[in-house]
């Protein structure tokens, strides 16, 4: 079975989720859905075909590389509903910016799209301005970036309107006719100081300062972290990196199957909460996954009445274990890599010197 079948099933599952989802303001921002996109590396089985497809330079014979190949997974995530809606799976040398362009058709119009600091580029700004009927927010470094952004940071202003122009490098990659169409793009810049003191800039086309105040945009951007939490759910709760398949097609199947499972779980969790819980109580995602994994085979009986009864029992079981959000925001933690140094890579470096 080709992996594209799983992609089609995911699209159907997402459509059903949005049809069943309650229309409440807490799932929107100024009446718009909010999505975040980020990329993550996934460790794959070390077979020759998988290595050749996703990470041909992996292996202990390459300095600085581990034994297992990796791939780059990019995901579009609804941060308020906590729903993954689309993804791409490419080789480890793939570009997150290019994958964002591939994901554009899956992001609904009249929504807000959040990007981390690895995404800002004139080409992506230009694409979204022309093709995306919605709003976007990018986090941009304060240095080694667009000249207009660096000048804004030096000004000390909390926000300003900037004109982002294509770099000379970008102009050399297009024809003279195309250069005439690459005009400066008008964006709003907002100074952002992270809890750890890092200074960066938010670039957005949310130009109306009255409707979209600066502090609200900053608070919205930090909701982007939800997509990082989803990757954690896949790798820890779903244990996706314990792949069963040893083929390229099977790897893509499993990566999309994990998303389908997450969408179904989140949809049933919201239905169970509406029916059995009160005062904003929530179901626990891990318990929902374990329940569905154990009861999935029982949810397809021939008798429709029995199917409804089983479905109600599943919803009741999902509501049994509740999730309690932290009362206080968790402190920012640095990213640590606890893996030991690759001794083979270290030995090879010593031999070359």
Please provide the average confidence, as pLDDT, over all residues in the chain.
Answer: 89
Domain for residue 250, yes or no?
no
β pairing state of 185-193 and 70-78: unpaired
Average pLDDT over residues 137-164: 94
How far is 124 from 102, CA to CA, in rounded Å? 11
Compute the radius of gyration of the chain from its Cα atoms.
Answer: 23
**pLDDT in the model for residue 122:** 92
How far is 89 from 185, CA to CA, in rounded Å? 30
How far is 114 from 208, CA to CA, in rounded Å? 17
- The DSSP call for residue 224 is G
**pLDDT in the model for residue 352:** 47
Domain for residue 102, yes or no?
yes
Number of other residues whose CB lies within 10 A of the CB of residue 10 = 22
Of residues 206 and 62, the one with the higher pLDDT is 206
**pLDDT in the model for residue 83:** 97
**pLDDT in the model for residue 325:** 80
59: alpha, beta or left? (left if phi > 0; alpha if psi -120 to 50): left
Number of other residues whose CB lies within 10 A of the CB of residue 272 = 22
- The DSSP call for residue 330 is P
**Whether the predicted pLDDT of 215 surpasses 80:** yes
Average pLDDT over residues 168-176: 73
Q: State the total domains in the chain.
A: 1
Q: Where are the alpha helices (DSSP H) in the chain?
A: 4-20, 48-54, 96-103, 122-131, 147-155, 168-171, 176-179, 214-221, 225-232, 248-276, 285-295, 304-320, 343-352
Which residues fall within 8 angstroms of residue 220, CB to CB, at 6 or more apart?
Answer: 29, 34, 112, 114, 137
Q: What is the largest CA-CA distance in the chain?
A: 74
Question: Poorest-confidence range of 70-84, 97-111, 280-294, 298-312?
Answer: 298-312
Domain for residue 142, yes or no?
yes
Of residues 231 and 346, the one with the higher pLDDT is 231
Helix H or strand E segment including 33: strand 33-43
Average pLDDT over residues 73-101: 97
How far is 53 from 101, CA to CA, in rounded Å? 21
**pLDDT in the model for residue 93:** 94
Q: pLDDT tens-digit profile of 202-214?
A: 999 999 999 999 9
**Distance of alpha carbon 66 from its chain centroid, rounded?**
25
Domain for residue 340, yes or no?
no
pTM of the model: 0.89
Average pLDDT over residues 92-97: 95
43 forms beta bridges with 70
**pLDDT in the model for residue 40:** 96
β pairing state of 199-204 and 135-141: antiparallel
Query: CATH no. for residue 27?
Result: 3.90.350
**pLDDT in the model for residue 334:** 65
How far is 219 from 125, CA to CA, in rounded Å? 22
How far is 159 from 202, CA to CA, in rounded Å? 9
**Whether the predicted pLDDT of 188 surpasses 90:** yes
The values of phi and psi at residue 48, to 5°, are: -65, -40
| Residue 113 and residue 135 in contact, taking contact as beta carbons nearer than 8 Å | yes
**pLDDT in the model for residue 331:** 67
**pLDDT in the model for residue 170:** 72
**pLDDT in the model for residue 195:** 78
**Whether the predicted pLDDT of 144 surpasses 50:** yes
**pLDDT in the model for residue 36:** 98
Q: How confident is the model at residue 340 (pLDDT cuts 50, 70, 90)?
A: low
Percent of the chain, pLDDT > 70?
91
**Whether the predicted pLDDT of 332 surpasses 50:** yes
**pLDDT in the model for residue 197:** 83
Domain for residue 238, yes or no?
yes
How far is 247 from 193, CA to CA, in rounded Å? 45
162 forms beta bridges with 187
Question: Poorest-confidence range of 27-36, 95-104, 116-125, 193-202?
Answer: 193-202
**Whether the predicted pLDDT of 277 surpasses 90:** yes
Q: And the tokens for 128?
A: 């979204």
Q: 236: domain range?
A: 4-242
Percent of the chain, pLDDT > 90?
71
**Whether the predicted pLDDT of 133 surpasses 80:** yes
């Amino acid at each position: 079975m080709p992996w594209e079948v799983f992609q089609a099933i995911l699209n159907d599952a997402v459509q059903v989720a949005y049809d069943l989802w309650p229309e409440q303001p807490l799932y929107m921002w100024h009446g718009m859905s909010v999505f975040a996109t980020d990329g993550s590396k996934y460790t794959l089985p070390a077979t020759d075909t998988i290595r050749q497809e996703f990470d041909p330079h992996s292996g202990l014979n390459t300095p600085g590389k581990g034994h297992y190949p990796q791939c780059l997974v990019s995901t579009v995530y609804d941060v308020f509903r906590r729903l993954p809606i689309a993804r791409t799976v490419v080789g480890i040398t793939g570009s997150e910016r290019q994958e964002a362009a591939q994901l554009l058709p899956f992001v609904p119009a009249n929504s807000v799209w959040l990007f981390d600091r690895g995404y800002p580029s004139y080409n992506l700004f230009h694409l979204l301005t022309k093709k995306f009927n919605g709003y976007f927010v990018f986090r941009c470094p304060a240095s080694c970036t667009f000249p207009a952004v660096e000048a804004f940071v030096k000004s000390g202003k909390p926000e300003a309107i900037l004109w982002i122009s294509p770099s000379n490098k970008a102009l050399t990659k297009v024809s003279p006719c195309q250069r005439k169409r690459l005009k400066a793009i008008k964006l709003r810049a907002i100074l952002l100081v992270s809890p750890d003191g890092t200074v960066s800039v938010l670039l957005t086309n949310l130009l109306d300062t009255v409707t979209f105040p600066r502090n609200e945009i900053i608070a919205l951007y930090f909701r982007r972290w939800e997509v990082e939490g989803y990757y954690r759910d896949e790798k820890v709760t779903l244990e996706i990196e314990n792949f069963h398949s040893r083929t390229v097609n099977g790897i893509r199947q499993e990566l999309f199957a994990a998303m389908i499972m997450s969408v179904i779980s989140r949809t049933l969790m919201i239905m169970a909460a509406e029916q059995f819980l009160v005062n904003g109580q929530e179901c626990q995602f891990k318990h929902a996954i374990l329940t569905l994994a154990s009861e999935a085979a029982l949810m397809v009986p021939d008798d429709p009445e029995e199917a409804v009864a089983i479905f109600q029992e599943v919803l009741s079981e999902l509501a049994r274990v509740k999730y309690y959000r932290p009362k206080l925001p968790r402190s920012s933690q640095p990213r640590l890599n606890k893996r030991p140094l690759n001794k083979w890579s270290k030995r090879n470096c010593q031999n070359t010197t």
